[in-house]
Amino acid sequence: MFVSRTSILETITVENDLSVYITNDLKQMEQCIQATRKAQSVLGMINTQFKIIDKEDFRIIGYIRPHLEYCVQAWSPKLQKDRMLLEKVQRRATRMVKRLKKLPYETRLKNLGIYSLERRRLRGDLIETFKILTGREHVNYSKFFELADITSRLRGHSLKLFKPRCRTTVRQNCFSLHIVNEWNKLPQDVVEAPSINTFKNRLDRH
């Protein structure tokens, strides 16, 4: 005799999947909070061990960025408050450098030869797009992007992408859509780069 058993599923608001926090509203706030908390903890330990950090020793950024940029293409923040929460960590890190503490953030970045986290995320998205479209990620690019029609590509570069219309903000903010406009702005010599390193160099010059 078959007995039917009904299982009641638990309702949760956030799920941790390989250190990526997915919430029921698909917003990035929880991910940004958790990433910031881990990075600030690392900075706190560094601050207790090194009382003076010179410009030449500014390698501490390599210890905090993995927390702030892990799998960032999947959860890149779109709200200003979330972006500022992440940027606050790097602001603190740059103030730890001797003689730079009182300078504006943009000046500190220039002196240290680094980018803001927001610019690094955009750069990373463009590099990932290049790798997908040129077959370097070994995935079918059509699962992420759709090439623009020939007529449209005559007004841009040869790998210009089509951007479909979306009604929801969540969909508009996903990686495969939010990067389209920035990708389409690139010149032909950048997108036709023969290697990833060449693409990075040409992108930085652009």
Residue 155 is encoded by which pair of tokens?
């007004």
CA distance 88 to 40: 9
Q: Give residue-wise pLDDT tens across range 119-146.
A: 999 999 999 999 999 989 888 988 889 8
Q: In the chain, where are the structural domains located?
A: 14-114, 122-205
CA distance 36 to 136: 31
Report the percent of the chain where pLDDT is more than 90: 39
Q: Give residue-wise pLDDT tens across range 153-185.
A: 667 788 999 888 777 666 677 888 889 999 999
Q: What was the pLDDT predicted at 58? A: 78
Q: What was the pLDDT predicted at 16? A: 85
Is this model's pTM higher than 0.75 or not? yes
- DSSP-derived letter for residue 1 is -
Question: Is 16 in a helix, a strand, or coil?
Answer: strand
Rounded alpha-carbon distances, angstroms, from residue 202 to 76, 93, 127 = 24, 28, 11
